[in-house]
Chains A and B, each alone.
Chain A
Amino acid sequence: MKRVFQHPPESPTGKHYWRGLGELSDTPEFRQWLEREFPPGASELNGDEWSRRDFLKLMGASMALAGVGLTSCRKPEMHLVPFTKNVEWTIPGKFLYYATAMPRRTGAIPLFATTVDGRPIKLEGNPLHPASGGATDTFVQASILDLYDPSRSRRFVHKGKTSNPNDFDAYIGTLRNTLGSQQGDGLAFLVGETHSPTRYRLRAELEKTFPSMRWCVYEPLLSQEQITAAQSAFGAGTRLVPKLDRADVILALDSDFLDCGQGDLESVRAFTSRRRVKAAADNMNRLYVVENRFTLTGAMADHRLRCPASQIASFAHALAKKILTGTNDAGLDGVIGNLQTAGGGTTFDEQWLSEAANDLLTKPGASLVLAGPNQPIAVQLLVCAINAALKNLGQTLIVRQVPHNPRTIDISQLASDINDGGIKRLFILGGDPVYNAKRGLVQDRQTKLPLDWADLQKKVPEVVRLGYHEDATSALSHWHIPLAHYLESWGDALTSGGDYLSLQPMILPLFGGLSEIELLNALLGGPKTEGPELVQETFRATNPPGDFQTAWSRFLHDGFASHVQPHDQTSAFNANEVGAQLPSQWTLPAAPTPDSPEVVLTASYEMDDGRYANNGWLQELPDPITKLTWDNAALMSPAYGKKVGVQTGDLIQITINEKSAGAEPIKRELVIAALVSPGHVDNSITIPLGYARKMPQFYELPYAGGDLKERPGIEEQSGFNGYFLRTAANPHFAVVGGKGIESVKVSKVGRTYPFSITQEQFSIEGRGLVREATLEGYRANNEFAKKIPGEDELPHPPPSIYAHPPLDAPQQWGMSIDLNVCTGCSACVIACQSENNIPIVGKLQVAHGRIMHWLRIDRYYASRKPFDQDRGDWPENPEVVHQPMPCQHCENAPCETVCPVNATVHSEDGLNVMAYNRCVGTRYCSNNCPFKVRRFNYFDYNQRPVGKRRVAGAFNIYEEYFAPLTSKGAPDIIKMQKNPNVTVRMRGVMEKCTFCVQRIEEAKIAALARAGASADKRIPRDSFTSACAQACPTGAIVFGDIKDAESGVSKMKQQDRNYRLLDYLNVVARTSYLARIRNPNPKMPDAENIGVASLVEKVPE
Chain B
Amino acid sequence: MANFFPRWTNWVPIKLIVCGIVLVCGLTGATWYYVTPKYTKVRYQPIQPVPFPHDIHVTQLGMDCRYCHSFVEMAAQSNVPNTQTCMNCHTQVQKDNPKLEPVRASWKTGEPINWVWIHRTVDYVYYNHAAHVNRGISCFSCHGPVNHMPVVYQAKPHSMGWCLECHRHPENHLRPEDQVFNLDWKPDDVKPAEFVSKYGQPRDTHEDFAKRKKLTQTEIGETLKERWNINPPTNCQGCHR
Mark A residues whose CB is within 8 Å of B: 75, 77-86, 91-94, 805, 905-908, 911, 913-918, 981-984, 994, 997-998, 1000-1001, 1005, 1008-1009, 1011-1017
Contacts and interface: CB of A to CB of B under 8 A. Distances in A.
Most buried by A among B113, B177, B235: B235
Given A92-B75, A1001-B241, A1017 B84 contact: no
B71 A92 contact: yes
B51 interface: no
Contacts of A915: 236, 240
12 contacts: A75-B40, A83-B83, A92-B75, A93-B77, A94-B75, A907-B236, A983-B241, A997-B237, A1001-B237, A1005-B76, A1005-B130, A1013-B135
Nearest to A916: B124
Interface in B104-120: 106-107, 110-117, 120
Given A75-B44, A86-B84, A1009 B73 contact: yes
A11 to B, nearest CB: 41
Contacts of A914: 236
Contacts of B111: 84
Question: Chain B: interface secondary structure?
Answer: loop
Contacts of A917: 122, 124, 240
B227 interface: yes
A84 B238 contact: no
B114 A79 contact: yes
A84 B103 CA distance: 9
Contacts of B241: 981-983, 994, 997-998, 1001
Given A85-B83, A93-B77, A916-B240, A1013 B177 contact: yes
Given A907-B237, A915-B236, A1011 B228 contact: yes
Contacts of B240: 913, 915-917, 983
B131 interface: yes
Top-6 shortest CB links A-B:
A1015-B229, A1013-B177, A915-B236, A79-B114, A82-B82, A907-B235
Contacts of B115: 79-82
Contacts of A86: 82, 84
A981 B241 CA distance: 7
B20 interface: no
A83 B71 CA distance: 14
Contacts of B117: 77-80
Contacts of A805: 235
Contacts of A85: 82-84, 110
Interface string B114-141: 1111001011101010110011100000
A84 B110 CA distance: 6
B81 interface: yes
A770 to B, nearest CB: 31
Given A79-B115, A82-B81, A85-B110, 19 more contacts: A81-B112, A81-B113, A81-B114, A82-B112, A82-B113, A84-B111, A84-B112, A91-B74, A94-B71, A907-B236, A908-B235, A913-B240, A997-B237, A998-B241, A1001-B237, A1009-B74, A1012-B134, A1013-B228, A1015-B227
Nearest to B236: A915
Contacts, number: 135
Interface residues of B, number: 48
Most buried by A among B83, B106, B116, B124: B124
Contacts of A906: 235
A911 B233 CA distance: 13
A93 B75 contact: yes
B79 interface: yes
B116 A77 contact: yes
A340 to B, nearest CB: 68
Nearest to B122: A917
A91 B71 contact: yes
Contact of A1015 (B44, B76, B107, B228): B228
B46 interface: yes
B77 A92 contact: yes
A93 B114 CA distance: 18
A85 B88 CA distance: 11
A914 B136 CA distance: 29
A67 B237 CA distance: 37
B90 to A, nearest CB: 14
Interface in B180-207: none
Contacts of B135: 1008, 1011-1013
A83 B131 contact: no
A812 to B, nearest CB: 14
B23 interface: no
A807 to B, nearest CB: 12
B131 A1009 contact: yes
Contacts of A82: 79-83, 112-113, 115
A1014 B198 CA distance: 12
Nearest to A73: B40
A1017 B229 contact: yes
A241 B81 CA distance: 54
A915 B125 CA distance: 10
Given A84-B84, A913-B236, A1001-B237, A79 B116 contact: yes
Nearest to B132: A1008
A93 B80 CA distance: 12
B129 to A, nearest CB: 10
A1008 B134 contact: yes
Interface string B11-42: 00000000000000000000000000000100
Nearest to B68: A82
A1018 to B, nearest CB: 10
B79 A91 contact: yes
A994 B124 CA distance: 15
Given A79-B115, A91-B71, A998-B241, A1009 B130 contact: yes
A78 B228 contact: no
Contacts of B46: 77
A1041 to B, nearest CB: 16
B75 A1014 contact: no
Contacts of B229: 1011, 1015-1017
A1011 B240 CA distance: 23
